[in-house]
Chain A
């Protein structure tokens, strides 16, 4: 695999070109490849899921803010224009089937339509549809008594505080938290990555004859006191999470789970690795490291997409193009003082003219900016100002789409998977 670029001269040609290496882009590429198409994925940044918790939310709350137990019941009530309304229930289910197959045993939750409630590092619980197997023993509807372990040097997870907060959230089990010292000391600004690497390599502990894993088990054992499961912040290994968790479970004699954390997020990175493997298996070609910056069109069809490689434009030709370049965070949607735009194809992004109407005064209000993105027809083609498709063969997927607030609804991953699937399948069929 890999890419041999003949820069600037002969364009690289594929059936389907997917722009964006996040969850939506990867799902799109898998779905298109499933149709037998020759697929290329363009990804600017190497790692795009490092900000993601690794939980796969489908729909956690209705637009009114009501907690959703069965997302498929609630989807029927979503307003016109919402990405789920655009693709329909069948595509959502098929997208999740594709995801389940791609991630295999590393994710759970497919046995039921119901959401699971997963403890967060903020001490709340949140509804999600699929969860990494490393988090499974921690579900909040599982009434086993719980011990949470935090580390002095990892300030983002204060285990006793999280335990108190969970208790305030009314979880149906006893939960305690203790803070211990990690067996190794790192520099003052070390992230979860550094902790994970020490466990991956089982580096020698700072004190005593043990290595990190065994020393960690020892420091937790003393606090077990009848707990039936033990939760750690999500740092139990980058390369060998199963092995590390297994070792700790065996030594402690109880189930072990991880609580997903903020960036850099190990469950997010592990998911990325897994999906990379799936892309590889399906023969998707990957080109990474350069941003898509422009295109050629002919008769209402995109013919060529250009990436920028050190100031030179490199052409990529395709029959069908999927735009999965991300939202405001991933820069698939850009803004300046004058307005909001989609930078690659200049697709129309509806937004209030006055930028003081992009937000409200309360931090967690229903902010218009959270819904910025391209609007699409039911075939996921971005629409221009007159509600006509911008291009015949361009579809959009994931957070470049507008009309939904992924944070308030807890729907980000689900929208990426279902629209990614629908766009990829349609592109693969048409190519």
Chain B
């Protein structure tokens, strides 16, 4: 604990955690007129939210074992379809039955859906394959439910942006270093700004800040125990890891679930241009440090290719792991994490531990993030004596309005259809503002069709943190995993940021992209990795960059050209081997004028983007 604090500030409520729940709470409280500050140790979605499979649950998955959760899911799916249409794709979902799966369970699932008011329809194998041609011929029948796909990155950013719009403060890259406790109550938090306050900027020296608040909400999910420890609290989260594997194309357009009681590797979620296979469920001790294992990735492909055979030979792009914030009340004694309820719990530490001023929210799942946020905001308002009503289920999130005229946008911005369509989808109602630029707007990331204007808009929101830019735009998340576009993305930071900052940001993004690919390094993806390696190391020489090297390059030791020679075009060139030019410029058409002005070389004459 450091005794020195650089800054002091005051707010109504501090929300710790910039995942879906934290962002949802910040939005909810801000809309109720409460001054709120959200602090997040990484970028938004840094924890579990950025590492989920993008399924918007109809509730079908929980319709047998956990009907409370199932009912909440169908209710919230309908809400999100309304308030966040730019983040949601209502794909529909199938629970497909293979011969090995029990008929009894199929019937229970169907009944469970009906009990929970989840629309469900039985399809024959033929009907299911008509809907999804790549479904295995072995599939006997299926239950159709209104599952969907959701983009957690866009959703979090939209919530945070709305909180900001209502006067909230969103502070990323600001890990909480301590809870401030006075007279048996939490009265604030101490944070360390890893890269200066506000948007992240590489290279700024870190400072500390004490944020005093009337109330603190611990919305750190799987990390809730770590935050609790700072005040001597014992919060029994049971973090459970799960793997997700991203395929290079969208093999299915519908969410495909295996219709069996529980198990690993039983779902395929179409997501933008890819499919995500999931998942495993293994309890871990530390949500920041757990093994990412080969068998988990193999299992995804082996198991799910039984449902969709073409997955066996399809190209995987990368695999990633997320940690569920599972919680069970003390003394429940469940040993298998798949048996732990997906319901959420409000732990008011005043009632529970005699420590006032703070509540933790644990358990739950992404689909019901808004409902969780509503419940805890109600609770906070009660503590603060505020009686404003929650409006998050009615008010659309920013970006989701006026989103019906894609064709006009495409024409207006001169974008080719896939580019225009996807840019406008990502940007929602902001498209006009972002894309309406008189300047050339080249595609920077070809795989995901992200244009310069969109990247610059994201940089405006995220600073030099290119991983955050990536999450906002999906740039560098396609087939090439950034090999062809990381450096282009980094260039967009220039000249606002200087060359060394651009280089550092690029290195960080490239490393991050590499990290995820490692679990998919075979076949096409290994070939791609070698191509990226060759491009960045061979063609650009980024691995041996002399600008980074400790020893200076002795340029005079290298070939400076063959000396006066006849060029292909017949003109003469002149540079002497050994680094001495033969009288500067000897091209026959050189004029006195250009030679005589040769000493004015470094004042960036008129460069449209020249620096300094």
**Residues of chain A at the chain B interface (Cβ within 8 Å):** 51, 53, 57, 60-61, 65, 67, 69, 105-106, 108-109, 111-112, 114-117, 120-127, 133-134, 136-137, 139-145, 152-156, 158-161, 164-165, 167-172, 174, 176-181, 185, 187-190, 222-229, 241-243, 245-246, 249-250, 253-255, 260-263, 327-329, 331, 334-337, 354-356, 358-359, 361-364, 367, 369-370, 406-408, 410, 412
Contacts and interface: CB of A to CB of B under 8 A. Distances in A.
Given A141-B556, A153-B442, A358 B539 contact: no
Contact of A161 (B441, B491, B541): B491
Nearest to B528: A329
Contacts of B523: 334-337
B601 A188 contact: no
A189 B443 contact: yes
A225 B597 contact: yes
B526 A328 contact: yes
Interface in B506-531: 510-511, 513-515, 518, 521-523, 526-527, 529-531
Contacts of A407: 533-534, 537-538, 543
B553 A53 contact: no
A262 B542 CA distance: 13
Nearest to A176: B604
A408 B440 CA distance: 36
B498 to A, nearest CB: 7
B443 A223 contact: no
A250 B522 contact: no
A181 B439 CA distance: 9
B571 interface: yes
Contact of B541 (A189, A369, A410): A410
A160 B610 contact: yes
Interface in B558-612: 558-563, 565, 567-571, 573, 575, 577, 579-581, 584-585, 587, 589-591, 594, 597-611
Contacts of B403: none
A245 B569 contact: yes
Given A115-B559, A125-B541, A143-B579, A253 B611 contact: no
Contacts of B491: 155-156, 158, 161
Contacts of A154: 442
Given A152-B439, A172-B556, 16 more contacts: A69-B554, A108-B565, A122-B545, A126-B541, A139-B560, A160-B610, A161-B491, A176-B607, A179-B608, A188-B441, A228-B581, A255-B587, A355-B294, A359-B521, A410-B541, A412-B534
29 contacts: A109-B562, A122-B539, A124-B541, A137-B573, A137-B575, A139-B560, A140-B555, A142-B579, A144-B585, A152-B442, A155-B491, A156-B487, A159-B609, A160-B495, A160-B611, A161-B491, A168-B547, A169-B546, A178-B609, A188-B414, A225-B597, A225-B603, A226-B598, A242-B568, A246-B570, A249-B569, A253-B589, A329-B534, A407-B538
Contacts of A122: 487, 536, 539-542, 545
Q: How large is the interface on B (under 10, 10 to 19, 20 to 34, 35 or more residues)?
A: 35 or more
Interface stretch (B93-101, B135-143, B145-153, B444-452): B444-452
A407 B538 CA distance: 5
B49 to A, nearest CB: 24
Contact of B579 (A161, A172, A181, A185): A172
A174 B539 CA distance: 23
B494 interface: yes
Contacts of A329: 527, 530-531, 534
A119 to B, nearest CB: 10
For chain A, what secondary structure do more than half of its interface residues adopt (helix, strand, loop), or is it mixed? loop
A369 B521 contact: yes
Contacts of A410: 538, 541
B345 interface: no
A140 B555 CA distance: 7
Interface of B: 294, 298, 301, 414-416, 419, 439-444, 446, 449, 451-452, 484, 487-488, 491-492, 494-495, 498-500, 502-503, 510-511, 513-515, 518, 521-523, 526-527, 529-531, 533-547, 552-563, 565, 567-571, 573, 575, 577, 579-581, 584-585, 587, 589-591, 594, 597-611
A324 to B, nearest CB: 17
A155 B555 contact: no
A165 B503 contact: yes
A141 B594 contact: no
A155 B608 contact: no
Nearest to A120: B540
B457 to A, nearest CB: 15
B604 A142 contact: no
Most chain B CB atoms below 10 A, which of A171, A228, A334: A228
A253 B594 contact: yes
Nearest to A241: B568
A116 B559 contact: yes
B302 to A, nearest CB: 9
A57 B526 contact: no
